[in-house]
Structure 1
């Protein structure tokens, strides 16, 4: 909580980060990065605040890949307030693929592209 009795704006970026890490776990991005030293790095991020979160509340945070290019992909996030029964923030992140051994950007590995496709299609089928 901040001085105005709502969740501080910086906390939303932590929510996005938590969703991003979970997404990386589900698509084996983190496991492949441990083996190959090729993985994601956050290139940019933004948040649109729609309503203030206040304590107590329960939230659900979602992440979805919306655009894929050769060396990067865009991920969109939503924070849903159960108390208010609505989306209270929307965000976006630009995830760049990076070869940490060579310190340069690189193509997204085919197995990661396939894993993203599987996860996105699985989630779409659950709706």
Structure 2
């Protein structure tokens, strides 16, 4: 297994290491594109847990994913281990933008990059709301 280039995930304060499962691959013998969005989701939820905003089913203010995208750079295959980094480089009035990087241990490279927009949402009223100050403070602390 190759050593991870720590510079590749530098600036990603939340990192999650995951095994590539045999069932993650598709008929073309590489990890299916949909799995990368699961990697992003896992890193996003790990970030939310660090923020202290994941506490079961939301009934008031909570995050909701507005958009997500992925840019594939190298095909990951089984067996492998990936490290997924997450960061928030941009915070707006009612949303923030997350960036992700997926590092392949076997390939010793960033195999995919992605981003998503997360909106502050009031689940009781079904509408977006201003980003809570507690979220802003948590993001500032995590991002350093």
Question: Deviations along 1:57-83, whole A, 9 cap, x unmatched?
Answer: 111001000110000000000000011
The TM-score with structure 1 as length reference comes to: 0.90
Question: Aligned runs of 1:98-113 on 2, under 5 Å?
Answer: 98-113=121-136
Gapped regions of structure 1 (runs ≥ 5) = 122-127
Partner of 2:11: none
SS in 2 for 1:29: coil
1:31 Cα deviation (Å)?
Answer: 3.5
Partner of 1:72: 95
The TM-score with structure 2 as length reference comes to: 0.80
Deviation beyond 3 Å, 4+ runs, structure 1: 31-34
43, 48, 51: which one aligns with 2:71 = 48
Question: Aligned runs of 1:86-105 on 2, under 5 Å?
Answer: 86-105=109-128
Question: What RMSD in Å do the two structures reach over aligned CA positions?
Answer: 1.4
1:10 Cα deviation (Å)?
Answer: 0.4
63, 78, 82: which one aligns with 1:59 = 82
Matched-pair contact (CA < 8 Å) for 1:32–1:38: no
Distance 2:124 2:65 in 1: 17
Distance 1:59 1:32 in 2: 27
Q: Does 1:17 align with 2:35?
A: no
SS in 1 for 2:138: helix
Question: Deviations along 1:69-114, whole A, 9 cap, x unmatched?
Answer: 0000000000000111110000000001100111110011101100
Number of aligned residues: 120
Partner of 2:62: 39
SS in 1 for 2:98: strand
